[in-house]
Amino acid sequence: MMRAMKSRELLYSGPLFDVARVTFEGQGGSDVVRDVIEHRGAAVILPLLDDGRVVLIRNVRHTVGKVLWELPAGTLEAGEAPSACAAREVEEETGYRAGTLVPLTDFFASPGILNERMHGFLATDLEQSAQSLDHDEEIEVFPIPQWQVRDMIKDGHIEDAKTIALLLYWMHLHSP
């Protein structure tokens, strides 16, 4: 049963997220205190070429000291609709403009510490344009056959949770 928040103290405010200490009434009346990362949300996009290949990216992630296989994704700007974010991010990161964007599913990234809601989209009718990376992004683009993407997940080559979640969701429920 959800209980009402008793208090919220802002610990940190930054350009991408805030950190707050929240207090709830727990079972038995004792207080439960949690530090929560508050995030505007993000879009994650599964770009699918006309020939059935999935467009994956190799993204340098300094936070984990690795270059990861991922689907394109990005944080919603203030007041931005998830579909607008998806259209913007797929083109910026892959250099493909989506003719069609279909919402697939929404999910929480890590609800134990983070309120970020990920909005998953399928992007089709892709038209080649040009990458437009942020100054801190290092991204390479790779169209990959679906069978190979499945193997990459199975073999542990794809380690990014949002990418695994959306790919498996789509492959299980929508892919032939």
Is residue 138 among the annotated active site residues?
yes
CA 16 to each of CA 19, 42, 74, 82: distance values in angstroms, whole numbers, following the listed order = 10, 11, 11, 16
Same domain as 71, residue 10 = no
Choose between 104 and 139: higher pLDDT: 104
Confidence of residue 176 (pLDDT cuts 50, 70, 90): low
Same domain as 108, residue 51 = yes
Backbone φ and ψ of 130, nearest 5°: -150, 145
Same domain as 58, residue 30 = no
Same domain as 88, residue 19 = no
Find the length of the chain: 176
Mean pLDDT of 140-147: 96
Confidence of residue 4 (pLDDT cuts 50, 70, 90): confident
Q: Which pLDDT value is given to residue 131?
A: 85
Active-site pick, 9, 25, 138, 140: 138
Same domain as 75, residue 33 = no
3-state secondary structure of 81: coil
Q: Which pLDDT value is given to residue 175?
A: 64
Question: Could you tell me the residue range of the domain that residue 22 belongs to?
Answer: 5-39
Same domain as 84, residue 27 = no
The total number of structural domains in the chain stands at 2
Same domain as 111, residue 32 = no
